[in-house]
Amino acid sequence: MKSVYSRGGMWAGLLALGLASGSGSAPAFIDTSMFPGNASVQKPSVTAGNSHYVYVYDDLTNRLFVFDRAGKLLHTVGRTGPGPGEFYHATGLEASDSVVTVYDRWNRRVELFSPEGQFRAEFPAPSNSRAFAADGNGRVYINDPQQGHLISVYDSSGKNTANFGELTTVSALYQTKDTSRDAALRLQANRVWLATDKEGNVYASYVIAPVIRKYDRNGHLAFERFIQGAEADSLRNIFWHVRSGEKLLSSPFDGTQVDYITKAVMADSSVGRVYVLGGIEALFEFDSNGNQVRVLPIKRNHGGQILHSSLSEHTVLFTVVFQTGLYEARIPAP
């Protein structure tokens, strides 16, 4: 994994995304830099990319930075405000070769832009979630368990067209008879990260449990998988036995501070793979049928925890808490 943007040239981290110990393959290092320190991104939060551009949202200035794939800053989009093309603490960003979709959460809307960053349209959306995904066909998926389902679907006019996904409990997610946390974490147990693939499937990884679900394009459950391996077991142990925020990145969800047991889910339709970013900063890889393929630990030489990740061109883009840089790591071939 490499530093692809560093403000003022102050640092450049060399990181690696490799196979788990015992896999027989060495980590795949990437050691060249993109994004020289010529852009004033101060607090990168969410990021996305397509075949031509990389997008970085700055949560401090409420601007969207547009880079080419070589790292050249092309321009910035927006400013703080409620107007067309403006933002106020956006929490979601998706990019395809035809449209860039921004979940402008605190302005209660979704905004659409051209790949070059020109404003196209907006439509209303609820603000009580952090997770969203867009499928490139005008549909937006938002995690909204307060409505009684895991996922709500909206069309390009902002109309709620469908709801799906059965809600769960902490005890079900952890396959235990201990129901002591079920009531207190009723909503938190149903907070998920979302992703879609080109076939219209929707993937959800649970914020507070190492579990992934896949729904087909009609909202029917295709599979639910409990992530396996030593890394996943460590996450389970942290959830039950370690105070929130002591080992993992944590944040308040629905009024309660919880650890990020998972931080993202990403789908790569070109190779039929799905990746869950764990709180201990490893990627768990699954095939399209839900078979767990391998674990890719993320090796880093700098402080701070990964805040957000996205998948573009077989490469994972990362932002890091309290760092002004953007990192990338190419996924090793199987």
Contacts for 196 with CB less than 8 Å, ≥ 6 apart = 133, 134, 135, 136, 141, 202, 203, 267
Supply the pLDDT for residue 315.
Answer: 84
- Nearest of 64, 147, 143, 130 to residue 100 by alpha carbon: 64
328 or 164, which is more confident?
164
Per-residue pLDDT reduced to its tens digit, 201-251 = 999 999 999 999 999 999 999 999 999 999 999 999 999 999 877 889 999
CA–CA distance, 191 with 193 (Å, rounded to integer) = 7
pLDDT above 90: residue 6: no
Q: How many CB atoms lie within 10 A of CB 301?
A: 9
For residue 140, the cross-strand partners are: 134, 154
Is the confidence at residue 19, as pLDDT, over 60? no
DSSP symbol at 87: B
User: Hey, is 4 helix, strand or coil?
Assistant: strand
Per-residue pLDDT, 39: 57
Rounded mean pLDDT of 119-140? 86
Helix (H) or strand (E) holding 235: helix 230-241
Banded model confidence at residue 34, pLDDT cuts 50, 70, 90: very low
- Best CA proximity match to 163, nearest among 208, 218, 92: 218
Quote the distance between the C-alpha of residue 332 and its chain's center. Answer: 20
Whether the per-residue pLDDT at 295 is higher than 90: the answer is yes
Per-residue pLDDT tens over the stretch 53-105: 999 999 999 999 998 887 788 889 999 999 999 999 998 999 988 899 999 98
Q: Tell me what pLDDT residue 302 has.
A: 60
The answer on pLDDT for 33 being more than 70 is no
Mean pLDDT of the chain: 85
pLDDT at 10 > cutoff 60: no
Please state which of the ranges 73-82, 254-263, 291-300, 317-326 shows the lowest mean pLDDT: 317-326
Return the beta strands (E) in 108-226 as ranges: 109-113, 119-124, 132-134, 140-143, 151-154, 160-164, 192-196, 202-206, 211-215, 221-226
In the structure encoding, which two tokens stand for residue 237, read together? 């142990």
- Stretch 17-28: mean pLDDT, rounded? 38
Q: Which pLDDT value is given to residue 287?
A: 96
Q: Please, are residues 35 and 6 in contact by the beta-carbon 8 Å criterion?
A: yes
Confidence of residue 274 (pLDDT cuts 50, 70, 90): very high
Query: 185-194, 243-252, 294-303: lowest mean pLDDT where?
Result: 294-303
Per residue in 110-125, pLDDT (tens digit) is 999 999 999 999 998 8
Contact 86, 63 (CB under 8 A): no
Higher pLDDT, 192 or 138: 192
- pLDDT on residue 294: 94
Model pLDDT for residues 155-182, shown as the tens digit of each residue:
888 899 999 999 999 999 999 999 999 9
